[in-house]
Amino acid sequence: MNIAMIGQKGMPAHYGGVERHVHDLSVGLVEAGHEVTAYSREWYTKSKETMVEGVHIENMLSIRTKHLDTITYSLIATIDAVGKHFDIIHYHGIGPSLVSWIPRIFSPKTRVITTFHSIDRYHKKWNIAARIALHIAEWTACRFAHETITVSQSLEQYCRNEYNKQTTYIPNGVNITIPSQETQKLKKFGLKKNEYFVMISRLVPHKGAHLLIEAFQKVKQAHSEDPYIKRLKLAIVGGEVYTNDYVRLLHTQASPCNDIVFTDFQSGEALKQLYAHAAALIHPSLNEGLPITVLEAMGIGTPVLVSNILEHLELIHDPRAIFTENDVNAIASAIYAFIQLSKEEKSQMIEQNKQIITKQYSWNMLIPQIIAVYENQSHTKKVFRPSIAHST
């Protein structure tokens, strides 16, 4: 099959969960014998590469503002893709699905798939108009596509309740890799193996970095005489995504504590080392689809501490690794309780996480499921008659 990917910022993936998802999925599809084109935004890729790991790259222009970037890129990419008559056009994210009616009308032989990655209208960075548009986009993701994939069980239930849509649940995946043994890249951030906690995320309010910073400061203050806690650092790995004001607030909030390090976005070997050598990854998010950063940490053997939102609870079952969402004291308590665990208890948590990833979230298992969706749609013709039923 000849498959187009639209919606991701670009490939290769430098940062972003959707970008990592599309990168790994596209490479896996190529390895399975399919031809894949990933439509990328020029500002993200910052290169003229036309091929990445066997995947064709089409760099597209966009109007790079918070509200126009995704829709302009998606429109231009869709028009280009329709002209090339792909077997499958696969949209990633609900925003890009706003233009998924175009191939339904102008390229009727092309099968349209949309992956519903998260409920974007809940994200605090959007104004009222954008949230209305994103609400509409949820409907288009459920109605314009021949098949809608949801990456978590909670999203599957959401689409059923909100839009009376039966979706196909296929979670995000990760490739099982051996963690980096090198530590050289940590030095430029002033970090040492097992002496820092890490948060890896875009710095947007719903990810909860402000909560983690306050909680970490509480732990440092409450246990200032503990030698390990005195050495302990917090690495915030990620940067702004049209959230400059929020990032400035984070830096101001963290300024009284010299042990909080902002690394900006990282990729490649630096990111691998930041994952591999952290005492634990902490993910205090208030809203998710299915967090790839948590899956990555689980897969390479880094312990994780997560908020008790439904999407995290699909992944993590150990109560020692879970804290109440939006609760600074709960995060601080979870951090200190984790520090007190024995080496054997931490090893047990790591092994449980690895087994979960191997059995449920490995791309080796998930890519055949996505191919099955493609193949089913390639042999099934559906007339485009979107229902107007819509629950708000």
pTM for the whole thing? 0.88
Structure tokens at 21: 């998802």
CA-to-CA dists, residue 31 to 14, 35, 276, angstroms: 21, 9, 27
pLDDT of residue 125: 72
pLDDT at 386: 44
CA 98 to chain centre: 20
Residue 384: what pLDDT? 44
Amino acid at 4: A
Asked if 56 and 83 count as a contact pair (C-beta separation under 8 A), the reply is no
In contact, 121 and 138? CB cutoff 8 Å: yes
Same fold across 2-173+362-378 and 184-360: yes
Domain borders along the chain are 2-173+362-378, 184-360
State the pLDDT at residue 131: 87
pLDDT along the chain (392 residues), means of 10: 96 90 97 97 87 96 90 96 97 95 96 93 78 92 96 94 95 89 95 97 94 98 96 96 92 96 94 97 93 95 96 94 98 98 96 94 95 79 43 37
Answer for the pair 168, 161: CB distance below 8 angstroms, yes or no.
no
- The SS3 assignment for 387 reads coil
- Could you identify the residue written with the tokens 């909080």? 260
CATH number for the region 2-173+362-378 comes to 3.40.50.2000
Domain 184-360 in this protein, CATH class:
alpha beta
Specify the pLDDT at position 40.
95
